[in-house]
Structures are given as C-alpha cells and as structure tokens.
Amino acid sequence: MQYFVVMIDYGRRGREAVVDPEITRRQVVSRIASGEYQNISFIHEIAENSVEDVTEAILAEAALPMIAPDEVDLQAIRLDHARDLSKHERT
C-alpha cells in the first residue's frame, strides 16, 4: 500500500495531517497547484515499510516555492488585515 501524508501548518491554530489512502501523487500535486493545500510543512510518501520526504519534488511539480514555516508570520498577517478593515469602517 502506498499513500501520502500532507502536513498543513495553521500557525497558532496548530497543524493538520491530511492522510487519504485513495489519493494519488498526481492528485496531491493538483490540490497544491489549485490552492486547496496551502502552508505545507512537509509531504511524506509512505510505501510498504518506508517513509520518504517528497516535499520538494511534489512542490516542484506543482510549480510552487517551498516557504519555511518560520518565514510566515501569521499573526502579523492577521493584524494587518484587522487594521485594513478598521480603516474602511472609519470612512
């Protein structure tokens, strides 16, 4: 049996591992390219008794650069958004 584990990082809200034995490599690439999977920490391919980190290869197939989790400041993004919303409320 072969399947993929896609770890998605939600910042302060935690992480989520998406594990679906039915999904193929092509479908993982498609979901990344479409934006369905974002903020990916890693992608592991599980086959029989081995685990392989295929993050860079799959992100390259999806033509998306890998962003390290420490480069993303989700709190700052959220505060910027709140500030922008308050500007529109004042006018």
Radius of gyration, alpha carbons of the chain: 16
Give the model's pLDDT for residue 87.
74
Say if CB 63 and CB 29 are below 8 A apart.
Answer: no
Domain range for residue 40? 2-90
pLDDT of residue 75: 62
Q: CA-CA distance, 64 to 88, in Å (whole number)?
A: 33
How confident is the model at residue 12, as a pLDDT? Answer: 84
**pLDDT < 50: residue spans in the chain:** none
| Count: domains in the chain | 1
